[in-house]
């Protein structure tokens, strides 16, 4: 993959070394092909749209998408080497010679060549007001209208020179032109310009489809819309998540469910993401209020329902999007859900002050009612519930009223907080902040190598093959029970804090504070 990112000399000299160092720390450690690493976030805010003969380009403040109308397929998202480059884009235009994309930002221009995944950019030195091509001089390059006059940026260059205005200019379509040709958009604005929570949405950009059968419409709040000629209401072409803060994942046939937290710009919600990114389906709760929780850190499935462990109780989400909450008034000892397991037709819930179980009739019953501490992790085997606590691993058998420490865990070195539990075949494995702890069936307990020296304080893990994908606050890696971290990935490769991991036969899905990351397993596993 070719990635070229050229800046004008004045911009380079203006960058302080500390800023360059911070930017480099956020860049990936390798040049990832898109098929190997894909970052999926909130694409409800579209800054520009441009239509070519075989594709539609859509820009957001952080990435670029491609929609293939003939195949109804998404490509991307594509990101420039500097992720901040697209933040100020307000218009885009397809090059009539090679179908590449030119973008106008408030201070300059950006050129993207999709066939070779190459980015170039430059600064105009003064505020940019618009862009155009000159049909009478198609080889001249991009004409840039600024507050100081016209400039022209040649193809392959990064320095624009003063120029007369284009003789036969052709520029991006405007929203006013869209509304003038489609008066039904204004007549139906009350239905169109509202998001799932009935908040106002704005049109940001428009592009006439190349086949002249409709309009692609960019919005700030509802993503990309398509209005066929003669239609009164545009359809939404959904891509991405309602928000970038992804807190929990659940593997489902054909893809994953991703839960995003409530933030200043997004509501809590759940989105099914197809493995090939061909479909996205979101559930965001009642239109007037949204869901009654803000943070989701655990997600499991049972039957046709999703169950979410949140900061305000346990939520059951049915296929139609309706929810039912179980909180302290329903029998939970605390609304803060710290762990969640679905097994044997029951849901077992660990909270900040004890454990409960919900049977198939949704009756809530306390587990080990004398235990009122935090249940950081859970695992179920037969009539035994294994519990990760701040004081180490514990268990409760059948209807016992209290937890007890398993045999063989009496030494201090084996009593670190247990923040995760999983099964590797019939071996129970516990995750501590520093390493793995496990017990083979009928055997003694063992500690693995320290993983935190490479990955930082450990947070979450998931079983895959004969080992685990393990994430800490500094990186992500694969580890077997007795191995150090293998082929670790660090900041830039894994943007933001990691909250959850799910592995399917083809991909590792990573829930982060900067979006959902999909890694192709063949590209990252040892």
What's the fold here for domain 9-237?
Answer: Methylamine Dehydrogenase; Chain H (2.130.10)
The answer, yes or no, to whether residue 10 has pLDDT greater than 70, is no
What is the structure's pLDDT at 402? 93
Which residues of 147-295 form beta strands (DSSP E)? 149-153, 161-162, 169-170, 202-208, 214-220, 224-228, 235-237, 246-252, 255-260, 269-274, 280-283
- Listed residue (439, 437, 469, 438) closest to 455, CA to CA: 469
Fold agreement (9-237, 294-524): yes
Q: Is 212 exposed, middle or buried (0-12, 13-18, 19+ CB in 10 A)?
A: exposed
Classify 276 as helix, strand or coil.
coil
The answer, yes or no, to whether residue 440 has pLDDT greater than 90, is no
Distant-in-sequence, close-in-space partners of 358: CB < 8 Å, separation ≥ 6: 314, 326, 346, 347, 348, 349, 364, 365
Write down the pTM of the prediction.
0.88
Give dist(CA 305, CA 324) in Å, integer: 11
Query: In this structure, is the dihedral angle defined by the CA atoms of residues 210, 215, 219 and 225, taken in order, positive or negative?
Result: negative
Give dist(CA 144, CA 37) in Å, integer: 34
The single residue listed with the structure tokens 């929203």 is 175
Contact 347, 339 (CB under 8 A): no
Query: How would DSSP label each residue in 282-316?
Result: EE---TTT--S-S-EEEEEEETTEEEEEETTEEEE
The answer, yes or no, to whether residue 11 has pLDDT greater than 70, is no
How many residues in the chain?
A: 526
Query: If pLDDT is split at 50, 70 and 90, which confidence band does 181 have?
Result: very high
What is the structure's pLDDT at 391? 94
Contact 96, 66 (CB under 8 A): no
Start-to-end Cα distance in the chain: 22
Give Cα 525 to chain centroid, integer Å.
Answer: 21
What is the structure's pLDDT at 27? 59
Q: Is 210 exposed, middle or buried (0-12, 13-18, 19+ CB in 10 A)?
A: middle
Q: Is 107 exposed, middle or buried (0-12, 13-18, 19+ CB in 10 A)?
A: middle
Tokens of 286: 């009642």
Question: Please, what is the average pLDDT of the chain?
Answer: 90
Give dist(CA 97, CA 423) in Å, integer: 57
Task: For the chain, give every domain's residue range.
Answer: 9-237, 294-524
What is the structure's pLDDT at 24? 43
**Backbone torsions φ then ψ of 418, nearest 5 degrees:** -105, 115
Distant-in-sequence, close-in-space partners of 92: CB < 8 Å, separation ≥ 6: 48, 49, 50, 57, 59, 101, 102, 103, 104, 172, 205
Tell me the pLDDT tens digit for each residue of 157-177: 778 999 999 999 999 999 999
Tell me the pLDDT tens digit for each residue of 250-292: 999 999 999 999 998 888 999 999 999 988 999 988 877 889 9
Tokens of 388: 């990760």
Query: If pLDDT is split at 50, 70 and 90, which confidence band does 7 have?
Result: very low
Tell me the pLDDT tens digit for each residue of 317-356: 988 888 999 999 999 999 999 999 998 889 999 999 999 9
What is the structure's pLDDT at 2? 38
Mean pLDDT, residues 182-206 taken together: 87
Query: If pLDDT is split at 50, 70 and 90, which confidence band does 409 have?
Result: confident
Please give the class, per CATH, of domain 294-524. mainly beta
The answer, yes or no, to whether residue 244 has pLDDT greater than 50, is yes
The answer, yes or no, to whether residue 30 has pLDDT greater than 80, is no
Helix, strand, coil percent content, the chain, rounded in steps of 5: 10, 45, 45
Contact 163, 152 (CB under 8 A): yes
């Amino acid at each position: 993959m070719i990635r070229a990112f050229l800046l004008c000399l004045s911009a380079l000299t203006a960058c302080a070394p500390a800023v360059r160092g911070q930017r480099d720390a956020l860049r990936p450690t390798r040049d990832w092909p898109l098929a190997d690493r894909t970052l999926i976030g909130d694409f409800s805010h579209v800054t520009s749209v441009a239509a070519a003969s075989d594709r539609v380009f859509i820009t957001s403040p952080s990435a670029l998408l491609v929609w293939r109308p003939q195949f109804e397929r998404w490509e991307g998202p594509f990101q420039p080497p500097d992720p901040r480059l697209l933040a100020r884009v307000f218009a885009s235009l397809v090059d009539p010679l090679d179908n590449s994309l030119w973008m106008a930002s408030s201070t300059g221009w950006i050129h993207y060549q999709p066939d070779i995944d190459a980015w170039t950019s430059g600064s105009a030195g003064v505020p940019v007001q618009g862009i155009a091509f000159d049909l009478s001089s198609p080889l001249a390059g991009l004409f840039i209208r600024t507050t100081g006059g016209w400039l022209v940026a040649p193809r392959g260059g990064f320095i624009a020179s003063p120029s007369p205005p284009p003789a036969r200019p052709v520029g991006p379509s405007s929203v006013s032109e869209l509304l003038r040709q489609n008066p039904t958009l204004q007549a139906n604005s009350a239905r169109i310009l509202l998001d799932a929570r009935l908040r106002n949405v704005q049109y940001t950009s428009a592009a006439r489809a190349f086949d002249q059968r409709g309009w692609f419409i960019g919005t700030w709040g509802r993503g990309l819309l398509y209005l066929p000629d003669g239609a009164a209401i545009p359809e939404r072409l959904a891509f991405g998540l309602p928000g970038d803060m992804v807190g929990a994942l659940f593997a489902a046939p054909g893809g994953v469910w991703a839960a995003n937290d409530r933030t200043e710009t997004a509501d809590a919600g759940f989105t099914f993401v197809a493995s090939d990114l061909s479909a996205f389906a979101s559930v965001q709760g009642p239109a007037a209020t949204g869901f009654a929780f803000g943070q989701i850190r655990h997600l499991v499935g049972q039957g046709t329902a999703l169950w979410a462990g949140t900061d305000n109780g346990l939520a059951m989400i049915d296929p139609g999007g309706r929810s039912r909450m179980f909180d302290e008034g329903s029998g939970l000892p605390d609304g803060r859900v710290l762990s969640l397991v679905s097994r044997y037709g029951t849901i077992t819930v660990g909270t900040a002050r004890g454990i409960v179980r919900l049977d198939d009739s949704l009756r809530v019953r306390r587990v080990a009612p004398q235990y009122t501490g935090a249940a950081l992790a859970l695992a179920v085997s037969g009539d035994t519930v294994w519990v990760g606590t701040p004081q180490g691993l514990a268990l409760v058998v059948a209807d016992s009223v209290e937890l007890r420490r398993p045999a063989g865990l009496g030494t201090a070195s084996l009593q670190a907080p247990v923040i995760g539990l999983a099964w590797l075949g019939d071996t129970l494995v516990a995750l501590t902040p520093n390493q793995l702890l496990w017990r083979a069936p009928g055997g003694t307990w063992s500690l693995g190598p320290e993983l935190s020296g490479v990955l930082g304080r450990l947070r979450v893990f998931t079983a895959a093959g004969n080992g685990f994908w393990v994430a800490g606050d500094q990186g992500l890696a694969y580890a077997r029970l007795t191995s150090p971290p293998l082929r670790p990935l660090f900041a830039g490769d894994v943007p933001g804090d990691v909250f959850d991991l799910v592995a399917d036969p083809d991909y590792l899905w990573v829930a982060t504070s900067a979006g959902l990351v999909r890694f192709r397993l063949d590209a990252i596993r040892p």
